[in-house]
Structure 1
Amino acid sequence: MRGLVKAEIRKIFTINLWWGLLIPVVVLSFGAGWLGTAVGTINELESMLGATLPIGLLTVSMSTNFSTIFAALFGALAVSGEYWNKSITTSYLTGNPRGAVLGAKLIVYTAMGLLYGIANVVFASLGGLVGAGLDGFGNPADWFTVGAAGLLSMVLWTLLGVGFGALVANSVAAILSLVLYRFAFEFIVSAFLIGSGTGVDAYLPVAAGSGIVGNLAVPIFISAVAGADEPYVPAEVFELLHFFAGGSYGNPWWASLLTFMGYTAAIAAGGWLLSRRRDVT
């Protein structure tokens, strides 16, 4: 397994894909962190309260939920990219059994997902510092909590991408499927489910993934601002902040985490089973 892990590391760093997809993560994270603190209604609310709000907690969540798609695409190309360039045959022949190859990819891409997550949190925080200053993050413990959730979210999205790439085994199909589902299909499905009032929409993959950070950042933000009055904060306020930061009102962050971990495990298992049986040339 050690040799397979080293081989995966060499594959990643001998091509430019890893930093090519990391660049938009850095740019989006910094932009979300900076511009998110400049929302007009936030500035008006700060003027009314006479205090700086920890808006940086929400912008870290927002930047994470914008950036995870790039981690997922990077992971998806881990396997589907090898089918595209025909190197998968050599990988399977030298790394028999096939399951060990996917296992090595999951190990290495866990570390790469962590790298993407660190870049996201750091640059989102830098953007927040530019826009709101140090006071814009409130209690340092809150920042570490939200940041840690951001790292975990990025790692899980990367691993989901690896499993999905193994499941589809086609780079174009993997990329298009992930992008269309992330930005179109689930949005349409959620629009129908929200009206049903069942709360099922919170357990869809993208909603669950965004809830890992959003369902943690929003309650922490409300608690920091409202303090003892938190139980009396209207649900509409929570819903507005969730629209901004991701997640959904009334769904705890750990439920989103467990749900998304289930999706990741199921897709990775499906990719592992299919990769063992799929013909290669």
Structure 2
Amino acid sequence: MGALIKAEFRKIFTVNLWWALLVPVAVMSFGAGWLGSGFGTISQLEKELGQPLPLGLLTVSLSTNYSTAFAAVFGGLAVAGEHRTRSITTTYLTANPRGSVLAAKFVAYTGMGVLYGLVNLLFSSLGGLVGAGFDGFGDPGDWFAVGAAGLLAMVLWTLLGVGFGALVSSPIAVIVSLLVYKFVFEFIVTTFMTGSDAPWITAYLPGSAGNGIVGNLAVPVFISAVAGTNEPDIPREAFEVLHYVFGGTYAHPWWASALTFLGYAAVFCAAGWYVSGKRDIT
């Protein structure tokens, strides 16, 4: 297994895809951290409240929820990319059984998910530092908690992508499906469900659950840091506005979102594993 994992990392770093998708993560994360914490009416709000706003917590959530799309696509091409180049045939023939190949990919791409998560956290924090200084991060414990949730979200999105790519096997289908679902389809469904009799269902959709891993932690922590003992007096609308922008769902715990999305990732990984074992590679 160790040799297969090394081979997977060798495949990853031999081509340019890993950094071609990592660069936008760094740029987007820095921009979200900087713009989210350095502009608007923030200075005026801080004067009125008499304290700095820990907006760095929210911008980490914002950058993560967009950057995970790149991690998902990167993971999705782990298997689908080999089908495009036909190298999957050689891979399976020289590394039987097929399940060991998929297992090695899951391990290798877990590591790459951590890398993507660290880059996202680093650059969103740098952006927040430029925009608001050290005061924009609040309590270090809160920052580490939100950052850890961001790492978890990035890893799970990467693994979901690997499973989905193994299931679909077409690079174009992987890219289009992941991006359209995450940014278009679920947005439409969520908008429709918000006005229905069961708006709580949206918290259990894949995109909302993935975004909620960070958003459902960052938003309550942010409000708690700002409001302090007056948190019970904060209207629900304030939470909902922040969740709408930075991800997550009102009154839904982050760990529930993590477990929900873990379930989706596990289903796709299992389905990809099964289909890959049966698919004709000739």
| TM tier, smaller | over 0.9
C-alpha separation in 1, matches of 2:207 and 2:46? 31
Query: Any gaps of 5 or more consecutive residues in structure 2?
Result: none
Residue pairs, 1:1-281, within 5 angstroms: 1-198=1-198, 199-281=200-282
C-alpha separation in 2, matches of 1:43 and 1:156? 36
C-alpha separation in 2, matches of 1:136 and 1:191? 31
Residue by residue, what CA displacement relative to the aligned partner does 1:171-198 show, whole Å, maximum 9, x if unpaired?
0111010011011111111111111142
What is the count of residue pairs matched by the alignment? 281
Give the deviation of 1:39 after TM superposition: 4.0
C-alpha separation in 1, matches of 2:137 and 2:245? 16
Root mean square deviation, CA, Å: 0.8
Residue by residue, what CA displacement relative to the aligned partner does 1:23-67 show, whole Å, maximum 9, x if unpaired?
000000000000001342433321211221101100011010010
Which consecutive aligned stretches of 4+ in structure 1 deviate over 2 angstroms post-superposition?
Answer: 41-44
Amino acid aligned to 2:88: I
C-alpha separation in 2, matches of 1:214 and 1:26? 19
SS state at 2:52 partner: coil
TM-score (structure 1 length as normaliser): 0.98
Amino acid aligned to 1:261: L
Give the deviation of 1:245 after TM superposition: 1.3
Give the deviation of 1:143 after TM superposition: 0.4
Give the deviation of 1:100 after TM superposition: 0.8
Query: Any gaps of 5 or more consecutive residues in structure 1?
Result: none
C-alpha separation in 2, matches of 1:55 and 1:8? 38
Residue by residue, what CA displacement relative to the aligned partner does 1:90-139 show, whole Å, maximum 9, x if unpaired?
11111111111111000000000000000000000000000000011010
Q: Percent identity?
A: 66
C-alpha separation in 2, matches of 1:44 and 1:180? 38
Which range moves more in the overlay, 183-192 or 107-116?
183-192
Q: Is the 8 A contact 2:55 2:137 kept in 1?
A: yes
TM-score (structure 2 length as normaliser): 0.98
C-alpha separation in 2, matches of 1:89 and 1:158? 23
